[in-house]
Chains A and B, each alone.
Chain A
Amino acid sequence: LAKTTQPISMDSYEGQEVNITCSHNNIATNDYITWYQQFPSQGPRFIIQGYKTKVTNEVASLFIPADRKSSTLSLPRVSLSDTAVYYCLVGDGTGGFKTIFGAGTRLFVKA
């Protein structure tokens, strides 16, 4: 199973861009990289998914270098409501449906 490593916590201010990097040295060829967001007392919510290079949607961008051993979630112009825990996941290396969460990164956005 591909294990992920993320910073435990990060602080930011409203209006800033936030970049959260995740290391996944043992990522398998067929693994995708997926990021989830979790607010207190709620289940995680999908943010973005990618396989290589760059993916962008309405809420975030995901940057993946050529070796795919890391990825960076970029949140443009964060607001107070972006305070949450962000999880980086890679697919089960066996190709199965198991989804393994790490401890996540706790982002605090200050006014």
Chain B
Amino acid sequence: IAGITQAPTSQILAAGRRMTLRCTQDMRHNAMYWYRQDLGLGLRLIHYSNTAGTTGKGEVPDGYSVSRANTDDFPLTLASAVPSQTSVYFCASSDGENTEAFFGQGTRLTVV
């Protein structure tokens, strides 16, 4: 059982470039989330999706966009990367409100 799969594992990206972080889950969960975690800090919610076809903004949505065309995939796009977007990005999914969330292993992104 794969659970949550994120790709790539790590990436070094030039500032100004466009980048899509991929996230796929095989648990048929309705809800999916993207977080960023900066060194020594907790996770901050970027965007979320309650169900396929819907998305919402989290705490720190600026500079990021998401789509939820189907239940399994929830890609995160940086349209024009900036150094402040250097972070570890975690994707997660859950079966709904007040249920356990399952996290991927993260994508370490460095914008130079």
Residues of chain A at the chain B interface (Cβ within 8 Å): 30-32, 34, 36, 41-46, 49, 85, 87, 91-92, 95-104
In the complex, how many residues of chain B place their beta carbon closer than 8 angstroms to a beta carbon of chain A? 28
The interface-forming segment of B12-20, B42-50, B62-70, B71-79 is B42-50
Q: Can you offer 9 A-B residue contacts whose CB atoms are under 8 A?
A: A30-B98, A32-B98, A36-B101, A41-B106, A43-B105, A46-B100, A97-B33, A97-B96, A99-B101
State whether B106 touches A43 (Cβ < 8 A).
yes
Contact status A100-B97, CB under 8 Å? no
CA distance A49 to B41 in the complex (A): 22
Query: Are the CB atoms of B98 and A43 closer together than 8 Å?
Result: no
Taking CB atoms, residues of chain B closer than 8 Å to A100 are 45, 59
- With a cutoff of 8 Å between Cβ atoms, the chain B residues found around residue A36 in the complex are 101
CA distance A41 to B102 in the complex (A): 15
- Is B94 interfacial (CB-CB < 8 Å)? yes
Q: Given the complex of chains A and B, what is the CA–CA distance between A30 and B33 in angstroms?
A: 21
